[in-house]
Structure 1
């Protein structure tokens, strides 16, 4: 029995010990300015914690320090989707986007409204929607059986509808095939090939939405500039 307990402790404790060592190493590498080594350590941690916004944030910091603005934006955006309330994540994402000529908050949209809209992540909104539906269902049963709490039931119905619509809106936005220019510069062409004329030149860090894929080319929309065209697939990093 003692052997089984010891084996269980080792099997649980060893990965945690290794993870803690990697975390300490990554932070030490970063403090020393060894960003490539820190990046490797953070990416190793990410294998065991694929939904950690803070690892994506730290990976984004490494790429930004290394001059890879596009890959920094991609990882900051992944962190932002998981924890949109974190001010550091929001600040660094906006900073990286601005260095590429982009903005986190679209023109004409008040920043406070943008913060409210992205206060919860898509997963949190889904959970809140399920919770609101459960509360409404309970109140509806009470009203049907005892004819009580009618107004409260209607209010809860309205709350559930708002949250469900909010969750659906954020989810649809995330489901768009977002990508970021990950090379120093990429030409936007009128067709899927080098023989088609270039209509624009995008620097790394620009956000695009992928519409179609043909061989090694992808058709994209640059929403911030109202442009559409084709780019080499290897010049983009999917978010």
Structure 2
């Protein structure tokens, strides 16, 4: 009895603090939206970023933050947050539209190397849903497959057994495909190695040194891929395949 009371006394403050933290996040989000509606975009940004600093993130939060930066004509940070929102929910048409709109305001127009058609096809299908949505679909197919196998096992009618067996294998295949897309999306989020240039203009260097040769100039809002770090420098690759070195202070990771 004493042990149970001790556990309850320990868990009660944790639960209480969790509720308070959630209420604080909700109040910050409501305040941020209010500031945005009133046109006070700087205050809206402060409140959205205060929420992110607590560890709470969502596609909606990054989308709203991107909108606030866009209103202040900070295209680089608008793109950065639209990219973060798109990473979490690639199926959202509003996020995709605003991201493309913001990209239209960037200086650098780099022609990307096209993906192999199979890779392009795989990405286009996996982007139909978010990682969580694919995971939910995978679980649904798995449960349905189990139900069909039970029907196959216990049904006394040949036609029902046959249809249940065939359909169970189809749903099992759909489970594997959905799970694959979910894992792929989750890995993109966890292992994202892309970033956005946030300084107005920066020269990519031939080596990690200020004294090395200039290779090309990148401007705010351009998306890059980070490859490896050497001290305060990072080797990067742009969409057309060209590589160079940039100081880490020149960009923010998605």
Q: Work out whether the TM-score is over 0.5.
A: yes
Q: Is 2:167 the counterpart of 1:152? A: yes
- Distance (Å, rounded) in 1 between the aligned partners of 2:19 and 2:177: 45
Please report how far the alpha carbon of residue 162 of structure 1 lies from its aligned counterpart in structure 2 after TM superposition. 2.3
Residue 24 and residue 140 in structure 1: after superposition, are their counterparts in 2 closer, same or farther (change >3 A)? closer
Tell me the SS of whatever aligns to 1:202: strand
1:136-166 deviation digits (Å, cap 9, x = unpaired): 3454455467682221122112212322333
Q: Deviations over 1:86-107 (max 9, x none)?
A: 332221111112222569x996
Instruction: Note the residue ranges of structure 1 that are not aligned, 5 or more in a row.
Output: 1-6
Q: CA deviation at 1:122?
A: 1.8
- Sort the Cα spacing of 1:207 and 1:139 in 2 relative to 1 into closer, same or farther, 3 A: same
Pairs within 5 Å for 1:1-239: 18-19=24-25, 21-47=27-53, 50-100=56-106, 101=108, 116-140=125-149, 143=152, 148=161, 149-174=164-189, 175-223=191-239, 225-239=240-254
Distance in 1 of aligned mates of 2:18 and 2:218: 48
Distance 1:76 1:216 in 2: 26
Q: Which residue of 2 aligns with 1:3?
A: none
Cα distance change of structure 1 residues 189 and 130 upon mapping to structure 2, 3 Å threshold = farther
Q: How many equivalent residue pairs?
A: 230
| Root-mean-square deviation over aligned CA pairs | 3.6
TM-score scaled by length of structure 2: 0.74
Q: Deviations over 1:163-190 (max 9, x none)?
A: 2333344344442411111111122222
Unaligned runs of 5+ in 2: 1-12
What SS does the corresponding residue of 2:43 show, helix, strand or coil? helix
Distance in 2 of aligned mates of 1:188 and 1:94 = 25
Query: Shift in Å at residue 39 of structure 1?
Result: 0.7
Ranges of 4+ aligned residues in structure 1 off by more than 6 Å = 10-14, 105-109, 111-115
Deviates more, 1:15-24 or 1:183-192: 15-24
Distance in 2 between residues matched to 1:176 and 1:17, nearest whole Å: 30
Larger-Rg structure: 2
State the alpha-carbon separation in 2 of the partners of residues 113 and 181 from structure 1: 28
Deviation at 1:57, TM superposition (A): 1.1
Q: Secondary structure at the match of 2:234?
A: strand
CA distance in 2, matches of 1:46, 1:179: 18
**Structure 2 vs 1, CA of residues 24 and 126 (structure 1 numbering), >3 Å: closer, same or farther?**
closer
Contact 1:76 1:92 in 2 (8 A): yes
